[in-house]
Amino acid sequence: ALVTQFHLPSIYHSNNITMDQFFPAFRAVSGVTHALGRSPAAARGGGFCCCSPLFIVISVMLLFWNEGRSVGRYRDLQESLKLVTNVDDISSVDSSLEGKLVHMTGDYTSGSDVKDSTFGVSTNGIKLVRNVQMYQWDERSYEDTRTKDDGSTETFRRYHYNNVWSNSLINSNYFAEKESHENPSSMKFSKSSITAEPIILGAFTLSSSIVDRMNWFQALNNLSVDNIPEDSAAKDAKVEFGSEFYFGKAPLYPEVGDTKVSFQHVPPGTISLMAMQTSDSSFSPYTTSRGGQILFVQRGNVSSEDMLLQAAQENEFGTWVLRIVGFGIMYMGLHSLLSPLVASADLIIPCLGNAMEYLVSMVSGIVAGVSSATVISIAWIYYRPLLGILMLSISGAIYYFGYKRYARYTRVNSNESSASGDGTERKGMVMMEVA
């Protein structure tokens, strides 16, 4: 049997609220009964057995691909370190560097201010973003599964409603209780983004691929309703703390439909970049010999070595994250593959279910860890032969010594059982002779 268990949040534990007091805040919509074993351990043993092989295959593919991606990125960064040219004078364009990887640092400026005509907000920065939030109803659903005395489970879905400030429209038509929790059908204003053109760096013009990465936004304060045009839809705005426009009766007591509008901008400053210099005095991603892309943009004065070092650290971090994800997926596959053992043990002797659950978890973790290391080793043999062979040898040694230890343990137990049986038989023969 397949079953998924959901539990209510532990809020009622942390606030000393009983279950009976907690439930009235929810609405029970349906109850579904599933025939299961005689305890929660058996329910846990149901697992997702049919998906186990798929999980394992996905894990192997992810781990193998991740190592290739990591090695490829490392080689791209090593190649970039050898080829990059540091440009100190950006007041003129050196045509001999066209098509080459360059690094430069300087102050960027825009030709004109960027302005939001609806609210009359302007800045001398290169980007201006309008953020809009509306006070709305939000629905959260929870499923609570209880095990009954006969071993079956009963599932209830409950809904909880809160008022929240949301950046997007929440459609209340899909709520379970939409009559008493209705949101507006549209937002008073929409989010917008304005970018200055052109953006200049010395004698160069920054391309969109560079500008898209310049996202070090800062809040734009000191807003005023005096700058809002008379014919604007925002004329009835109030200013709250100088940092946002408010549309509603009382900011301290918001009602559904109230709207807040704030602004962020990217102010003028210093930028460091590493990219390919193009013929139109601009930049584009540099393509390495292996086909990788190099395009780095950072705020402030950052050297080419520091840029590449940070990229290498990010690559290493990303590699380990995907390794852990791959291990987790393989653990899930192995655990669900072995989970029927938990249900079987619990059906035979109820108290064995929890013990078998711990055993299955331990075995799944060990096998998943060793298997993941083996896949990584095989991938490294393909991408990095020397290190791959070393890792594969370590994994093989763990497998070998683990098997040897298990075989010795089995043999010792077998010999003890045989010796015990022989001793009982001889004692019986002696008693017969004496009699």
Token pair 């990219």: residue? 275
Whether the CB-CB separation of 24 and 12 falls below 8 Å is answered with no
Task: Determine the distance from the C-alpha atom of residue 15 to the mean position of all C-alpha atoms in its chain, rounded to a whole number.
Answer: 30
Whether the CB-CB separation of 310 and 147 falls below 8 Å is answered with no
pLDDT value, residue 78: 95
The two structure tokens encoding residue 353: 């279910």
More confident residue, 162 or 35: 162
Least confident of 71-80, 120-129, 356-365: 356-365
Whether the CB-CB separation of 77 and 101 falls below 8 Å is answered with no
More confident residue, 173 or 403: 173
Least confident of 180-189, 269-278, 422-431: 422-431
pLDDT value, residue 27: 35
Q: Does residue 105 surpass a pLDDT of 50?
A: yes
* pLDDT-above-70 percentage for the chain: 78
User: Residue-wise over 42-80: b if at least 16 C-beta within 10 A, else e?
Assistant: bbbbbbbeeebeebbebbbebbbebbebbbbbbebbebb
Dist. CA 83–CA 129, nearest whole Å: 37
User: Which amino acid belongs to residue 199?
Assistant: I
Dist. CA 166–CA 176, nearest whole Å: 20
Which residues have CB under 8 Å from 55's CB, separation 6+?
A: 329, 330, 332, 333, 336
Dist. CA 233–CA 251, nearest whole Å: 19
What backbone torsions phi and psi does residue 21 show, to the nearest 5 degrees? -75, -30
More confident residue, 393 or 7: 393
pLDDT value, residue 140: 93
Average pLDDT (355-360) is 81
Which residues have CB under 8 Å from 415's CB, separation 6+?
A: none
Q: Does residue 370 surpass a pLDDT of 60?
A: yes
Whether the CA torsion 132, 135, 137, 143 is positive or negative: it is positive
Residue 32: pLDDT band with limits 50, 70, 90: very low
Closest Cα to residue 6, out of 185, 143, 206?
143
More confident residue, 253 or 9: 253
The continuous run of DSSP H or E covering 329 comes out as helix 304-338
Residue 414: pLDDT band with limits 50, 70, 90: low
Q: Does residue 19 surpass a pLDDT of 70?
A: no
pLDDT value, residue 431: 43
pLDDT value, residue 242: 76
pLDDT value, residue 15: 40
Mean pLDDT over each residue of the chain, to the nearest integer? 81
Q: Does residue 426 surpass a pLDDT of 60?
A: no
The winner for highest mean pLDDT among 91-105, 229-243, 337-351 is 91-105
Closest Cα to residue 250, out of 135, 132, 118?
135
Task: Determine the distance from the C-alpha atom of residue 12 to the mean position of all C-alpha atoms in its chain, rounded to a whole number.
Answer: 28
Beta bridge partners of 159: 141
Dist. CA 89–CA 84, nearest whole Å: 15
Average pLDDT (334-351) is 75
Beta bridge partners of 299: 271
Average pLDDT (353-365) is 82
The answer to whether the bond into 340 is cis (omega within 30° of 0) is no
More confident residue, 207 or 435: 207
Q: Is the pTM of this model over 0.85?
A: no
